[in-house]
Chain A
Amino acid sequence: MHEDRPFREITLQDLERLDPVTLRTARSCANCGRCGGACLARIRDLSPARVLRLLQLGRLDEVLTSRFLWSCIGCRRCSRCCPQELDVAAAVVRLRRLAARHPRATFPKHLLRLLCG
């Protein structure tokens, strides 16, 4: 059926919550997709490449509520293969900090209590 609002508007204000390094990484990404192909921990079609793309479109919520952020095993294949030498792995890990505080985070709540008291 016809949607009320068929286009999803790009709003970038959520990105103000990002630290400058992560923001810069997202902006520099040329979307070649290599990190996505390299990632060993892809889950439900989300990958480092997709994460950066969503950030470019201002869709921070989808990133922060994803399981992918927590499935990263730190192999750093993404950072190593990036043609722009972006530290993608570091960005993914840094996003966890924001994700942990998100009300719909997929981070196990009992562990959160352990970390934050």
Chain B
Amino acid sequence: MPPKIGVYLCHCYGVIGKILDLEKLSHQAGKWRGVAVSVHCPALCSDDGLEVIAEDVRQGRVDRVVVGACSPAVHRDTFLRLARQVGLNEHFLERCNLREQCTRAHRDQPALAMAKARNLLKMAVGRLSPAESFEPVSSSTSRSVLVVGGGIAGLTAAENLARAGVNVTLVEKSPFLGGKVARLHRYYPRFCSPRCGLEVLMARLLATGRVTVHTLTEVTGVRGTAGNFTVELLKQPRYVKDTCTGCGACLEVCPVEVAPSAVLPPGRQRAIEGPGLFPYPLNYAVNRVFCRGKSCSRCVEVCPAGAIDLDQEEDRLRIGVDAIILAAGWEPYDAGRINNYGYGRLPGVITNMDLEVLARPDGPTGGQLIRPHDKKPVRRVAFIQCAGSRDKQHLAYCSGVCCAATLKQIDYVRAVAPEAGIFVFYMDIRTPGNLEELYRRAREEHGAVFIRGNPYAVEWDPVAEELVVTADDTLSGSRVAVRAELVVLATGMVPCAVPAFERLEKDTTGFITGHLPCSPIEVRRAGIYVAGCAQEPMDVSTSVKSALAAAAECLATIQNQSVAVPPVVERHKCDRCGRCVEECPYGACSFDTDGYPAVNPLACRGCGICQGGCPLRCIYLPGFSSREMAGLIEAVDPGSMDEQPCVLAFLCANDAYPALDLAGTRGTSYGANILTVRVPCVGAVNAGWINDALLSGIDGVLVVGCRTTECHYGRGTSLAESRVNNLRETLQRMLVEPERVQVLTAGIEDGQSLVAAIKRFVKQLQELGPNPFKE
């Protein structure tokens, strides 16, 4: 059935109508092939205006609509709502920019503005005639998610998703859940026990009945894409069966003592370990690294439930999930690498995390503040902030939480040693928001002495048997020394490495930060989300928030209420070269079982980079098929520009197109010989269109995108540049001057500089003369 196109021109209450003769344009458009109705109205966005279009559609007089009015960047919702109300597919609605990029910018050239308007309308009609309609694709997913990491972020995300009805598999590398938080003595700001919050969380998680937990399990492989990941898991043997009652009889007989860290003595820890204060799971686990094995077997013999089985083997599992949340957490930076501070070498030098262990009543000193190696009471404690942080030789970044952690620990010290001297060597105290209260308390109530100077070294005085910390007190300009029994290094955080996810993009800190600030949670591989300290150093409150954010993003993806229409693949033309699969920034395009590209609607962001790179033009977004683009290019009349060079410009919707709109709105004038086409990303521009445009007599083609590092889709601009470079060779062989194509970049606010660049290009074209292919 031939299309019935309605062309509607808007006076915009005179803004357009005073410069363009809309009666004349409307009359001309009415004569074009495919146009059934051609009218003009005072304001199309008004109720009356919209009703004109609506009535024509309802009565079947038109089935496709061209709106010649303001920029497509404005009144988006107005016309989308109209389309939905009358049942018009949104791909059958084409917007033509007669205001910001026409009358506003070409007030001083009304005749040329008319020519431009005529061209733009004809391009819209030419494109709309062969257009096809598309519906958003819903794919069915089983709604299951993998959460990697059983710390507070992983547990929070899992509980939230499970409550929303999603089946969650949670894997944790260590034998027990709770992560670092379960090992803290207290957390701020309330100084409550972390076990309390964790218990509440765990109870809610178990109540959902939708979380399957695998401890002692790692991810060894991930394949697939959003909506369809296949994950390989490796489960290490626990050596303890589910009949374990947690009685601890094995612990009493185990001969191997295990120290909690390199500098702390063994407390009650043995080669078989129990869950401690957060019993999830309750079952004990044998630490194979330290256990002496079957030759010892004392635990096996003494266990009343016969639960210990030293013959257990590892297990491998494979699961299919729709999405993955990576919440593998952090490790403290290795303080042993800071040579001058003597960690692991001098007695009494420990880290913040070591102090958490010491402070706990079930720790190696029973919660008393005594020096671990010789039990000497601690009368003076020196904290060294930024130990191995903000230092190019260690961690260049700031971990943000160590200041608050130390201030919290000063509270611990005061609680058990009211008379102890407390010194803090710092560079800056970073306690944003109400954490400032911790800083005030440390000074006012706990009487800690703050020395603004980063110590060069910590030394041992063998005569007095104490540590000596020296530093430059930058505030008074003198060198100071502090003698102490205990020195606590506030070390920074490093992310835990998960080998299966090694290839995810990280920033210079080594954390997986996503695309800041727009999408911090989702990484470039669609369907994978990061939560907690795997993303960046953060405190417990922020980890919880980040986990909830990840759960929300994750849920939005797997709800499969997709609104995106993925690109169409014309298999009969495709030669399976695979370029689209390779170039997709999101890994959304993959080979199906026949070797043809298939686009995952859950992962596709609609950038069109696949379309831009296809040598055969057989993959395209709605509106960009070969026939539609051919219709658009053929509709251009290159000779209608009154001796001016005719330029076809492709502008990206994110920065370039709005920049040019802005120039028009500000009244910046430029030549009306620039015909614009809006594309989702400059990477969506296919070299074939540029070729066709030049062959049809258009004098010059501009491809304008975001600045290279600012491209919203990552690599759009750099791909466009390399594609245009390759095209130049072809053009030379066709005896067309390669300078007739140019790639420009612009930020969304750079209307003026974009216009200046366009003018320079036009001048260059004037010097080159008309296109040899022009009639």
- A residues within 8 Å of B by Cβ? 30-38, 42, 45, 47, 49-50, 53, 77, 81, 83-85
Chain B contacts for A85, CB-based, 8 A: 392-393
Q: Assess the A38–B454 pair: CB atoms within 8 A.
A: no
CA distance A31 to B453 in the complex (A): 8
**How far is B471's CA from A81's CA once the two chains are assembled, in angstroms?**
13
Write out the residue numbers on chain A whose beta carbons fall within 8 Å of the beta carbon of B427: 30-33
Residues of B contacting A45 in the complex (Cβ-Cβ under 8 angstroms): 477-478
Asked if B245 is an interface residue, CB under 8 A from chain A, the answer is no
A37 to B481, CA, bound (A): 10
B467 to chain A, nearest CB (A): 15
Which residues of B, 160-210, contact A by the 8 Å Cβ criterion? none
CB distance from B728 to the nearest CB of A (A): 41
Contact pick for B474, options A53, A77, A84, CB 8 Å: A53
Pairs of residues from A and B, 9 with the lowest C-beta to C-beta distance, nearest first: A36-B472, A83-B391, A33-B453, A33-B472, A37-B456, A32-B454, A38-B456, A33-B474, A34-B454
Q: Is the CB of A34 within 8 A of B477?
A: no
Q: Residue B455 at the A interface, CB < 8 A? A: yes
Q: Determine the residue in chain A with the shortest Cβ distance to B392.
A: A85
B340 at the interface (CB under 8 A from A): yes
Known contacts A47-B472, A81-B456; A36/B393 CB under 8 A: no
The residue of chain A having its C-beta at the shortest distance from the C-beta of B396 within the complex is A83
**10 A-B contact pairs sorted by A residue (CB < 8 Å):** A33-B427, A33-B471, A34-B453, A34-B455, A34-B456, A37-B479, A38-B456, A38-B457, A50-B472, A77-B456
Minimum distance in angstroms from A40 CB to a CB of chain B: 11
- Compute how far the CA of A81 lies from the CA of B457 in the bound complex, rounded to whole angstroms: 10
Nearest CB of A to B428, in Å = 9
Question: A30-B427, A32-B427, A81-B340 are known contacts. Are A37 and B453 too (CB-CB below 8 A)?
Answer: yes
Structural contact, A33 and B473, CB atoms closer than 8 A = yes
Q: A33-B472, A37-B456, A81-B456 are in contact. List 8 more A-B contacts (CB 8 A).
A: A33-B427, A33-B452, A34-B453, A34-B454, A36-B453, A37-B470, A37-B479, A81-B340
Question: Is B33's CB within 8 Å of the partner chain A?
Answer: no
Question: With a CB–CB cut-off of 8 A, which chain A residues contact B759?
Answer: none
Question: Are B453 and A84 touching (Cβ within 8 A)?
Answer: no
With A and B bound together, what is the CA distance between A49 and B472 in angstroms?
A: 8
The answer to whether B392 touches A83, judged by C-beta atoms less than 8 angstroms apart, is yes
Distance in angstroms between the alpha carbons of A53 and B453 in the assembled complex: 13
Residues in B417-463 with C-beta less than 8 Å from chain A: 427, 452-457
How many residues on chain B are close to A (CB under 8 Å)? 21
Point out the residues of chain B lying under 8 angstroms from A53, CB to CB: 474
Residue among B386, B427, B470 having the largest count of chain A Cβ atoms under 10 Å: B427
Binding site for A on B (CB under 8 A): 340, 386, 390-393, 427, 452-457, 470-474, 477-479
Contact residues in B for A34 (Cβ distance below 8 Å): 453-456, 471-472
A33 to B456 Cα, complex, angstroms: 9
Q: Is the Cβ of B392 less than 8 Å from the Cβ of A37? A: no
User: Which of B340, B386, B390, B474 lies in contact with A49, CB distance below 8 A?
Assistant: B474
Contact B453 A32 (CB under 8 A): yes
- Report how far A56 CA is from B473 CA in the complex, Å: 17
Cα distance A3–B542 in the bound complex, in angstroms: 50
State the CA gap A35–B453 with chains docked (Å). Answer: 10
Counting residue pairs across A and B whose Cβ atoms lie within 8 Å, the total is 64
* Minimum CB–CB distance for B339 against chain A, Å: 10
In the complex, A29 Cα to B454 Cα: how many Å?
13
Nearest A-chain residue to B481, judged by Cβ: A37
- Alpha-carbon separation in the docked complex, A36 to B479 (Å): 8
A30 to B390, CA, bound (A): 10
Give the shortest distance, in Å, between A53 (CB) and chain B (any CB): 7
Task: Give the complex CA separation of A36 and B390 in angstroms.
Answer: 17
Residues of A within 8 A of B470 (CB): 37
* Chain A contacts for B478, CB-based, 8 A: 45
A35 to B472, CA, bound (A): 8
CA A31 – CA B470 in complex, angstroms?
Answer: 16
Neighbouring B residues of A32 by C-beta, 8 Å: 386, 390, 427, 453-454, 474
Closest Cβ neighbor of A83 among chain B residues: B391
Tell me, in angstroms, the Cα distance from A31 to B392 when the chains sit together.
15
CB distance from B666 to the nearest CB of A (A): 38
Residues in chain A near residue B340, CB distance under 8 A: 81
CA distance A77 to B470 in the complex (A): 15
CB distance from A1 to the nearest CB of B (A): 24
- Specify the chain A residue showing the minimal Cβ separation from B394: A83
CB distance from B482 to the nearest CB of A (A): 12
Which chain B positions have C-beta within 8 A of A50? Answer: 472, 477
List the A side residues contacting B452 at CB < 8 Å.
Answer: 33
The CA of A31 and the CA of B477, in the complex, are separated in Å by 11
A84 to B473, CA, bound (A): 19
Chain B contacts for A37, CB-based, 8 A: 453-457, 470-472, 479
CB-based contact B479/A42 at 8 Å: yes
A31, A34, A38, A81: residue with the most chain B Cβ atoms closer than 10 Å: A34
**What residues of A have a CB within 8 angstroms of the CB of B390 in the complex?**
30, 32, 83
Q: Are B474 and A31 in contact (CB under 8 A)?
A: yes
**In this complex, which of B470, B472, B474 has the most chain A Cβ atoms within 10 angstroms of its Cβ?**
B472
Give every chain A residue within 8 A of B471 (Cβ-Cβ): 33-34, 36-37
How distant is the Cα of A30 from the Cα of B398 in the complex, in angstroms?
13
Nearest-CB distance from A65 to chain B (Å)?
17
A34 to B340, CA, bound (A): 12
Residues of B within 8 A of A42 (CB): 479
- How far apart are A107's CB and chain B's nearest CB, in angstroms? 23
Instruction: Please name the residue on chain B nearest to A85 by beta carbon.
Output: B392
| B472-A84 in contact (CB<8A) | no
Provide the residues of chain B in CB contact with A31, threshold 8 Å: 427, 474
Among A33, A36, A47, A77, the most chain B Cβ lie within 10 Å of the Cβ of A33
* B residues in contact with A83, CB < 8 Å: 386, 390-393, 454
